[in-house]
Copies of this chain bind each other. A is one copy, B any other.
Amino acid sequence: MRPNIITISREYGSGGRDIGREVAQKLGIDFYDSELVKEAAIESGLQLEVVEELEECRNATLFSTEDRLDSNTLQDKMYLAQSNAIKQFAQKGPCVIVGRAANHVLAGRDDCLHVFVYSHMDHRVRRVAERLGLTEEEARRKIEKVDQARAAYYHYYTGEEWGLARNYHISLDSGFLGVVGCAKTILNKVPPAWKPHEVRAC
C-alpha cells in the first residue's frame, strides 16, 4: 500500500500541528488544519461568524446524547461540512490533514497513513505556556478544556474513545521522540516512490 494522505490527530500542545507541517514541507505536499473550518463553511454556505462562534464554544456539553438524536443540529451540519472538505482535500492529491477526526472521515480509503501524537501533561504545559504566554496553571486548564472537547467531539462522531492506539497506524509520544523525531518516523513510513525528488534531508 502506498499512502497518499497522512492524517494527524493530536492532544492539545503535543506539537502535532508542527509535526504535520514539517512532514508536508519535507514532502512538498499540501497541509490542512484549521483552514478546514473556513473552507467547510464556505463550501456549505454556513455563515462564517456562526462557524467561528461554534469553534469558540466547542466543548463537551455540546455533544450530549440528546443532541445526537437530532441530526440537524448546527454542530452536525458543521461536522458534515468539514467532512466533505476533508474528502475534497484528499481527492485533490497527496496532503497532510491535521485534526477533525480525519482518520475516521477517510476510513474508507486505503491510501492513508493515520497518526496520533500525544505527550505527557508536563511537556504540553511547558509548550503551551511558552507559546501563548500563560502561567503553567492557565496552560494546564486550557489543555484540559481543549482535550476534553476533542475527546467529546471524537467520541460523538465516531463512537470510539479518543486516543486508542488501534484507531491509528502509528501513535507517537512527542515528549519522548521530539517534534523532529516524530516527523522523521512518519517520513520513514512513506515509501521513497512517493517522495518528490526535491525532498530535503530530514
A165 touches which of B165, B181, B184 (Cβ 8 Å): B165
List the B side residues contacting A185 at CB < 8 Å.
170, 185, 188-189
| Docked-complex contact A176 and B116, CB < 8 angstroms | no
| Docked-complex contact A164 and B166, CB < 8 angstroms | no
| Docked-complex contact A170 and B169, CB < 8 angstroms | no
Q: Mark A133-177, 1 if CB is under 8 A from B, else 0.
A: 000000000000000000000000000010111101111110011
Q: What class of interface size applies to chain A in its complex with B?
A: 20 to 34
Tell me the chain A residues, 58-80 only, with Cβ under 8 Å from chain B: none
List the B side residues contacting A116 at CB < 8 Å.
165, 171
Given contacts A185-B185, A185-B188, contact A118 B166 (CB under 8 A): yes
List the B side residues contacting A188 at CB < 8 Å.
184-185, 188
| Docked-complex contact B165 and A176, CB < 8 angstroms | no
List the B side residues contacting A176 at CB < 8 Å.
1, 113, 169
A164 touches which of B165, B184, B189 (Cβ 8 Å): B165
List the B side residues contacting A170 at CB < 8 Å.
170-173, 177, 185
| Docked-complex contact B163 and A166, CB < 8 angstroms | yes
The DSSP consensus for interface residues of chain A is mixed
List the B side residues contacting A161 at CB < 8 Å.
161, 164
Best-buried of A168, A176, A188 by chain B (most CB within 10 Å): A176
Q: Mark A110-128, 1 if CB is under 8 A from B, else 0.
A: 0001001010100000000
List the B side residues contacting A168 at CB < 8 Å.
165, 171, 173
Closest to A175 in B: B169
A163 touches which of B164, B181, B189 (Cβ 8 Å): B164
Complex: A161 Cα to B161 Cα, angstroms = 11
Interface residues of A (CB under 8 A from B): 1, 11, 113, 116, 118, 120, 161, 163-166, 168-173, 176-177, 181, 184-185, 188-189
Q: What 20 additional pairs, Cβ within 8 angstroms, besides A165-B168, A169-B177? A: A11-B166, A116-B165, A116-B171, A118-B166, A161-B161, A163-B166, A164-B164, A164-B165, A165-B165, A165-B171, A168-B171, A169-B172, A169-B173, A170-B170, A170-B172, A170-B173, A170-B177, A170-B185, A177-B189, A185-B188
